[in-house]
Amino acid sequence: MAGAVFSGIQRLAMRGSAKIPPMKVLDLQCAHGHAFEGWFASEADFVSQCEKSMVQCPACGNADIAKKLSAPRLNLGAAAPEAEARTEVVNAPAAQQALTAAWMEIARRIVAHTDDVGDRFASEARRMHYGDVEERAIRGRTTPDEARALVEEGIEVMPFVLPEALKNPLQ
């Protein structure tokens, strides 16, 4: 995922930092309807990153991103006055937000509590199933046909699409 997309926690941590250059803040949405915010140096920077598929949805990893209609806002790196109340406005139903948050939490737990065996998933699952190696929680990639073959052998597997944001090191 492109480094231009920040979470609310990252925004709060950066607020007031003199090291942050002025940024254009855009409301974005992926083809699956997930809304998120992206910070870019300019409109040209946003377009350039989108053309290279560098901007991806933090929820599903989709790179088909569109700007949502929003009021322009610039982050000039200045700290907000303490007395000023901040209200986040979200253009998504609460149920969709709750579902996305729950899905992201499950994905984070899967990443935190499993070993990534990559393309060796099927062979590693078989080795554990037949007692060649000690059983442990693993994740990885395999073809749909290979996954069906594992199930037919009595090996329990579950498909789960991890967001690209969780596959890479944190920004």
Yes or no: say if 171 and 3 are a contact pair by the CB < 8 Å rule. yes
Yes or no: say if 124 and 117 are a contact pair by the CB < 8 Å rule. yes
* Measured distance CA(47)–CA(55) in Å, rounded: 10
- Residue 79: both structure tokens together: 């700290």
Q: What tens digit of pLDDT does each residue of 131-152 get? A: 999 999 999 989 989 999 999 9
Percent of the chain predicted with pLDDT > 90:
22
Pairing verdict, β 65-67 and 35-40: unpaired
- Residue 27: both structure tokens together: 């409301």
77-to-10, 45, 52, 103 alpha-carbon distances in Å: 13, 18, 27, 32
Q: What tens digit of pLDDT does each residue of 42-92 get? A: 888 888 888 988 888 888 888 899 988 866 555 565 555 555 555 555 555
Q: Give 111's contacts (C-beta < 8 A, 6+ positions apart).
A: 139, 162, 166, 167
* Measured distance CA(57)–CA(94) in Å, rounded: 18
Closest by CA to 159, choosing from 169, 150, 167, is: 150
State how far Cα 158 lies from the chain centre: 20
Average pLDDT across the chain, whole number: 76
Under the banding of pLDDT at 50, 70 and 90, the label for residue 25 is confident
Residue 12, classified by CB atoms within 10 Å of its CB into exposed (0-12), middle (13-18) or buried (19+), is: exposed
Beta bridge partners, 28, equal 36, 67
Report pLDDT for 58.
Answer: 82
